[in-house]
Structure 1
Amino acid sequence: MLSKIRPKVKQPLERIGKTLASLGITPNQLTIIGFLITLLASYEFYLQNQILAGIILAVGAFLDALDGALARATGKVSKFGGFLDSTIDRLSDASILFGIALGGLVRWDVTFLTLIGSYMVSYSRCRAELAGSGTLAIGIAERGERIIIIFIASLFNAVKIGVYLVAILSWITFIQRVYEAKKRLEMG
């Protein structure tokens, strides 16, 4: 759903990307910096500092949104950069949920179902696109939405509710993608 607003924020993000480029920061460095910040958020979740964790998570997510803008602004878009970004996103998702679970904020079984649901959202898109479905950026809970839900819930010390919501919406999104992939792939 957030993918629909990407065109509106593309230019402002690329302006910020140009500023970062003037500082000598590369897109891949920004990806790693964002991941390290997300690890810090995960640690704060482990310590049960939900509000601080949420704020740190928002910073990490913002940097994650900037790495692609930086790549486009500097002409450094690369297949490896896309791969690295996507791979680091999966590690970030896992670290956030593990921090929450290790902190005792959510049961492990719920964390596991949430993580698998989140991974299936990403995997189903990747696999469908490789099979020829075309871009499959559909569903009610892509990664951006899932991060925003955790962020907002943490600001209210209600990350447990956020994780439950992410779990449900991730599985719904996965089903939406499977359904859409089936339609597209059977037509082609």
Structure 2
Amino acid sequence: MLDTHARKYVDPFIDRTATSFLNTGLTANQVTHVAFAIGVTSGLWIYLEQPLLAIVALWLSGFLDAVDGAMARKSKSSAWGTLLDISYDRLVEISVIVGFAFLYPGSMWALLLLACSIIWAMTIFLTVGALTEKKGMKSFYYQAGLAERTEGFILFSLMILFPNYLTLLTLLFLAVEVFTALQRLNEAKKILKEAE
């Protein structure tokens, strides 16, 4: 939701950063690799009980993830870059969930359900993107929903900052993901019927 409706407020900063990076000779794919390398450490920082480093790594990688998309739109974007970007995003999320699961095994059942809900929501998201001919500003149709990347980062950050409530926050995240998946499924039914 925030990615869709609040992005316009941070876009000027993202855009300026993208232009600066392109002017220094960096490519979108290089920034994608850097964003991944930073973001995937979040789970390690969680496991090592370094919450501030985990949050900084998570949000810095998220910012660079937005910048690489802006760079791709300003230069020649590639299908390979899109694939890298989407797969790296999931690996960063997996690292956070795995970091929590190893540090707090008592919450593992809730974290496992959260991982399953993310898989389901992303399956719908990517399948609709592949099946529809609609295009957005990205290289495929982007289905908005209650939980987009920013909401995920906010919920992950709350989980990192308040580990005493980890199971409860994980179940809240799960509920948001399930709602988002149902939202996307409902929209997908309409979109795909129109295409028939």
TM range (shorter): 0.7 to 0.9
CA, structure 1 residues 18+50, in 2 after alignment: closer, same or farther (shift >3 Å)?
same
Q: Which residue of 2 aligns with 1:62?
A: 63
**Which piece of structure 1 moves more, 130-139 or 86-95?**
130-139
With normalisation by structure 1, the TM-score equals 0.88
Give the deviation of 1:183 after TM superposition. Answer: 2.3
Distance 1:32 1:65, change over 3 A: same
1:72 aligned partner = 73
Q: Offset of 1:37 from its aligned partner?
A: 0.9
Indicate yes or no: 2:44 matched with 1:43. yes
Q: What does residue range 34-183 of structure 1 map to in structure 2 within 5 Å?
A: 34-73=35-74, 75-104=75-104, 107-132=107-132, 134=134, 135-157=141-163, 160=166, 161-183=168-190
Distance in 1 (alpha carbons) for counterparts of 2:115 and 2:106: 12
**Higher mean Cα deviation, 168-177 or 131-140?**
131-140
Number of residue equivalences = 187
| Contact kept? 2:121, 2:178, Cα under 8 Å | yes
Distance 1:60 1:159 in 2: 25
RMSD: 2.1
The runs of 5 or more residues in structure 1 that have no matched partner are none
SS at 2:76's partner residue? coil
1:58–1:151 Cα contact (<8 Å) kept: no
Q: Is the 8 A contact 1:51 1:156 kept in 2?
A: no
Deviation at 1:159, TM superposition (A): 6.7
Shift of the alpha carbon at 1:50?
Answer: 2.3
TM-score (ref. length: structure 2): 0.84
- Tell me, yes or no, if the aligned pair for 1:105 and 1:159 is still in contact at 8 Å: no
State how far apart, in whole Å, the 2-side matches of 1:156 and 1:24 are. 41
Sequence identity percentage? 29
How many Å apart are 1:136 and its aligned residue?
Answer: 4.8
Q: Which moved more, 1:7-16 or 1:164-173?
A: 7-16
Offset of 1:156 from its aligned partner?
A: 4.2
- In structure 2, what is the Cα distance between the partners aligned to 1:156 and 1:111? 15
State how far apart, in whole Å, the 2-side matches of 1:56 and 1:65 are. 14
Amino acid at match of 2:66: A
Q: CA deviation at 1:106?
A: 5.9
Superposed displacement of residue 157, structure 1: 4.5
Deviation at 1:133, TM superposition (A): 7.1
